[in-house]
Structure 1
Amino acid sequence: MSRLKTAMDRDRGAQQAATGLVGDPLKLPFARILQEAQQIRVSEAYRRMVTAGACALTGGRAEALYLDTIGGLNAHDLDVIVRAFRQLVVDMEHRPFLDLLGPLYMEIGHKLDKQDRGEFFTPFCLNRLMVDLMTAQDPRAMFTPGEILTANEPACGTSGMVLAFAEHLTNHGVSPLHLRWTVQDLSQTSCYASYINLTLWGVPATVICGDTLRMTVNWAWQNVHWHQAKPWPTAEERRAHVAEVMRQERFLRVFQELFVGAA
């Protein structure tokens, strides 16, 4: 219990100091824009935003779905969708690795529908606690030199757990590019939201929409970072990196002595 309280206090303090609490998801700037929709409900505006946004991040591989998603919207609501996605990117920059799409999805969705589908949002502090329990003190101990670590999240929702893991790595000086995730969920909307979260935060991932228990796959998208993933460096590569850093530092000192000092 004390560990949970510590994680919750840390989560609260970090968000207040660096990012600000999410609080009411409906009051997030991008959520306020979605509520300006006139032709469709907010829940439908959310669905179209995450679907179209995910399509846009595929680099043109989902153009048909993108056009189908925005089809039938009047000019006002189309503008709402576009502005909301742009604002989402800004909101995410102010709240590093914090899942903003999950809380809003749960807030605007129909309660009975969520219960029927078994969808429940996990608070970010609990995601952080579970990451701490999985990785112990130093996450670098999980990696094998020369290999890319692989991980799976079979019921990812909007991938809040994966974002917490990426944040944990980053806080310990480890790039998320050393790990590849395969995440899966039955909800298409959640999968599109996951694709946005993981792509914008630079996490190599394959997002699968399908039933994990029945082992069915409706579709699977690899994001742009999947092929950018890199193995954990070997001892020789680490030594070479240190030597290169030292060489650059020596060059910089010489440059400063010759040119900056002379000026």
Structure 2
Amino acid sequence: MGQFFTPYSLSRLMASVLTGDIEQQLKRCPWVTLDEPTSGAGGMVIAFAEAMLNAGYNPSTQLLVTTTDIDPVAADMTFIQLSLLGIPAIVHTGNTLTLTVSRTRCTPVYWIENWPDRIRSHERIQAMRQFLAGIA
């Protein structure tokens, strides 16, 4: 399973580049979404959360992560790390290329911050805005 874990210094560099437009993203939605299709141990997600924190944002309430890894051990490492750091995430064990998932877990803060209701509420507001824009 050719595994190559990104050095954390490189993950931090990439995260600092990606967090440049968080303010614009938060104007459209009250949180930023991050999808990591090959999560490994979750280093890229952790670096992004750290960059958000350094920019004055709260990853526990303003970041929603979805990760996938084909290796169950790597997915477990991601789940443990994101859980301990208080990052809301949906962690899949599965194959990103074939879109198959064999296991899904959500970190505790995903449930504590009530993300399912937050997502549904935001979707309803967006649908209402689209409807109102269509009749205007």
Within 5 Å, which residues of 2 pair with 1:95-244?
A: 117-136=1-20, 139-144=22-27, 147-176=30-59, 177-227=61-111, 228=113
Q: TM-score, normalised by structure 2?
A: 0.76
Closer, same or farther in 2 for the Cα pair 1:120/1:162, shift >3 Å? same
- Structure 2 gap segments, 5+ residues each: 119-136
Question: RMSD value over aligned CA atoms?
Answer: 1.8
Cα deviation per residue 1:150-207 (whole Å; 9 max; x = unaligned)? 2200001011000000101111111002111000000000011101110110100000
Of structures 1 and 2, the larger Rg is shown by: 1
Report 1 or 2 for greater relative contact order, CA contacts < 8 Å, sequence distance ≥ 6.
Answer: 2
Shift of 1:145: 5.5
SS in 1 for 2:27: coil
User: Higher strand proportion, which one?
Assistant: 2
TM-score by length of 1: 0.41
> Where do 4+ consecutive residues of structure 1 move more than 4 Å?
none
